[in-house]
Structure 1
Amino acid sequence: HAVAFIKMDDKRFFLERLIGENPEKKILIFVRTKVRAERVLAAMARVNIAGQTIHGDKDQDERNRVMSAFRAGRNKILIATDVSARGIDIPNVDFVVNYDMPDEPENYVHRVGRTGRGKQKGQAVSFCSPEEKPLLVEVEKYTYTPIQVMDIEWNTYQDTLDLTEDTTDNWKQLIKEAEANPHKPKKKKKKK
Structure 2
Amino acid sequence: MIREQISSDQQTLVFVSTKYHVEFLNVLFREEGIEPSVCYRDMDQDARKIHISRFRARKTMLLIVTDVAARGIDIPLLDNVVNFDSLHKPKLFVHRGGRAARASRTGTAFSLVTSEDMPFLLDLHLFLSRPIRAAPTEEEVLQDMDGVMSEIDQAVANGKLFMGIFH
- TM-score, normalised by the number of residues in structure 1: 0.65
Of the two, which has the highest radius of gyration?
Answer: 1
1:67-78 to 2 correspondences below 5 Å = 67-78=52-63
Does the C-alpha gap of structure 1 residues 104 and 150 become closer, same or farther in structure 2, counting only changes over 3 Å?
closer
- Residue by residue, what CA displacement relative to the aligned partner does 1:124-168 show, whole Å, maximum 9, x if unpaired? 11112112212222323333334612334xxxx45x85xx9xxxx
Partner Cα separation in structure 1 for residue 127 and residue 71 of structure 2: 17
Q: Partner amino acid for 2:4?
A: R
Q: Across the two proteins, how many residue pairs are aligned to each other?
A: 142
Partner Cα separation in structure 1 for residue 129 and residue 11 of structure 2: 28
Q: 1:125 aligns with which of 110, 117, 122?
A: 110
Asked whether the 8 Å contact 2:84–2:112 carries over to 1, the reply is yes
Paired position in structure 2 for 1:89: 74
Q: 1:98 aligns with which of 62, 66, 83?
A: 83
Work out whether 1:24 is the aligned partner of 2:24: no
Partner Cα separation in structure 1 for residue 2 and residue 85 of structure 2: 12
Q: Structure 2 regions of 5+ residues with no counterpart?
A: 133-146, 157-167
Partner Cα separation in structure 2 for residue 36 and residue 133 of structure 1: 21
Paired position in structure 2 for 1:7: none
Identity %: 36
Partner Cα separation in structure 2 for residue 83 and residue 18 of structure 1: 27
- TM-score, normalised by the number of residues in structure 2: 0.74
Q: Partner amino acid for 1:105?
A: P
Partner Cα separation in structure 2 for residue 15 and residue 33 of structure 1: 20
1:153-172 to 2 correspondences below 5 Å = 157=152
Does the C-alpha gap of structure 1 residues 118 and 82 become closer, same or farther in structure 2, counting only changes over 3 Å?
same
Q: Structure 1 regions of 5+ residues with no counterpart?
A: 1-13, 165-192
> What SS is found at the alignment partner of 2:52?
helix
> What SS is found at the alignment partner of 2:112?
strand
Q: Which has the higher contact order (CA 8 A, sep 6+)?
A: 1
> What SS is found at the alignment partner of 2:81?
strand
Q: Partner amino acid for 1:30?
A: F
Work out whether 1:63 is the aligned partner of 2:64: no
Work out whether 1:145 is the aligned partner of 2:144: no
Asked whether the 8 Å contact 2:37–2:54 carries over to 1, the reply is no
Q: Which moved more, 1:83-92 or 1:110-119?
A: 83-92
Asked whether the 8 Å contact 1:32–1:103 carries over to 2, the reply is no
Hey, which of these two has a bigger chunk of strand by percent? 2
Does the C-alpha gap of structure 1 residues 29 and 46 become closer, same or farther in structure 2, counting only changes over 3 Å?
same
Partner Cα separation in structure 2 for residue 26 and residue 135 of structure 1: 27
Partner Cα separation in structure 2 for residue 42 and residue 17 of structure 1: 19
